[in-house]
């Protein structure tokens, strides 16, 4: 029973993890723009400004969903992999590092999602005007919308985990989401459940459930990413093929401290053969430059 409450015990371990999830969920809700938008809506301040200004302000805040999600997943992903973590420091590091790229990606994806949503509403509201074309255009719009959701589920953790060009993040998110459909469907169910509970059941859950969802999502996506990450043994083999040998480097260091090497003219270590007294032995077949007199005798 005592081990249950040890510093390394399950109570402290999972209690700390739960606390970090709650803290990150709260930070995510604020930096992602959702809390500021809700506060502004509750004050009624938007009633005194033009509609276009209201839309632009809300749009500017909502664009931060990607960088907030990316930073949260970066911090939770490190916990998932069991590496040393400093929750808020890791969040801040990822936020600063990926801000520009995340905002560009968010601008593209968010704009497309809003356009698709508007098109679907327009088609549904004017079904009679579109006639039979409704049954052709609507499925296409829904398909594009679904693919955008797929990308939105993968891209935050992809940005948090790897360093690539903006177009590559979008491309690989699309390819992975469609190749690993089972993982994608699980993520969709978890995401939809989190949104439903936070929006329609209790808004207070927004400080708990987002962190829990992203922790589970980071674990699921880590298994996907491992399929695309090179094996450590393969990396070592590639390095040796390119002229680097880890064993040779280790031996050179050992020889250095055993007095089996010395500095050359450029100040670099070179391996030489020495006798029992530590003096360099020059083989007969080795060429070396010496100073001689007029008769050719070595000085």
The mean pLDDT value of the chain amounts to: 80
Please give the Cα distance from 20 to 211 (Å, whole number): 8
Please give the Cα distance from 40 to 46 (Å, whole number): 7
For 130-150, the pLDDT digits (tens) are: 788 888 888 999 999 999 999
Reported pTM: 0.71
For 90-120, the pLDDT digits (tens) are: 999 999 999 999 999 999 999 999 999 999 9
CB crowding 242-278: b at 16 or more within 10 Å, else e? eeeeeeeeeeeeeeeeeebbeeeeeeeeeeeeeeeee
CB crowding 102-118: b at 16 or more within 10 Å, else e? beebbeebbeebeebee
Q: What is the pLDDT of residue 261?
A: 47
User: Residue range 6-30: average pLDDT?
Assistant: 81
CB atoms within 10 A of CB 138: 16
Residue in the block written with tokens 């549904």: 124
Most confident of 139-148, 230-239, 253-262: 139-148
Instruction: Show me where the domains of the chain are located.
Output: 8-229, 234-271
> Measured in whole angstroms, how far is the alpha carbon of residue 100 from the centre of its chain?
14
| CA distances from residue 84 to 63, 190, 210 in whole angstroms, order as listed | 30, 27, 22
Structure tokens at 5: 């409450």
């Amino acid at each position: 029973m005592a081990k249950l409450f040890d510093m390394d015990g399950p109570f402290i371990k999972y209690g700390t993890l739960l606390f970090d999830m709650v803290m990150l969920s709260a930070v995510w809700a604020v930096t992602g723009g959702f809390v500021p938008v809700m506060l502004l809506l509750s004050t009624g301040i938007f009633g005194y400004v033009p509609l276009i200004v209201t839309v632009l302000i809300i749009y500017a805040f909502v664009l931060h969903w990607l960088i907030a999600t990316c930073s949260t997943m970066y911090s939770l992903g490190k916990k998932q992999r069991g590496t040393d973590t400093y929750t808020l420091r890791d969040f801040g590091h990822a936020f600063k590092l990926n801000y520009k790229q995340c905002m560009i990606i968010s601008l593209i994806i968010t704009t497309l999602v809003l356009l698709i949503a508007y098109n679907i509403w327009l088609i549904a509201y004017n079904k009679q005007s579109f006639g039979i074309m409704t049954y052709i255009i609507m499925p296409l719009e829904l398909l594009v919308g679904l693919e955008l959701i797929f990308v939105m589920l993968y891209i935050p953790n992809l940005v948090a985990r790897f360093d690539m060009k903006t177009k590559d993040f979008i491309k690989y998110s699309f390819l992975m989401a469609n190749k690993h459909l089972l993982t994608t469907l699980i993520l969709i169910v978890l995401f939809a459940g989190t949104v439903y509970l936070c929006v329609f059941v209790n808004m207070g859950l927004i400080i708990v459930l987002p962190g829990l969802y992203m922790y589970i999502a980071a674990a699921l996506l880590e298994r996907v990413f491992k399929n695309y990450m090179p094996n450590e043994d393969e990396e070592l083999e590639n390095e040796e093929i390119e002229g680097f040998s880890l064993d040779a480097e280790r031996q050179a260091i050992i020889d250095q401290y055993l007095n089996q090497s010395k500095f050359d003219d450029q100040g670099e270590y070179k391996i030489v053969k020495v006798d029992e007294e530590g003096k360099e032995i020059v083989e007969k077949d080795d060429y070396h430059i010496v100073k001689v007199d007029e008769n050719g005798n070595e000085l």
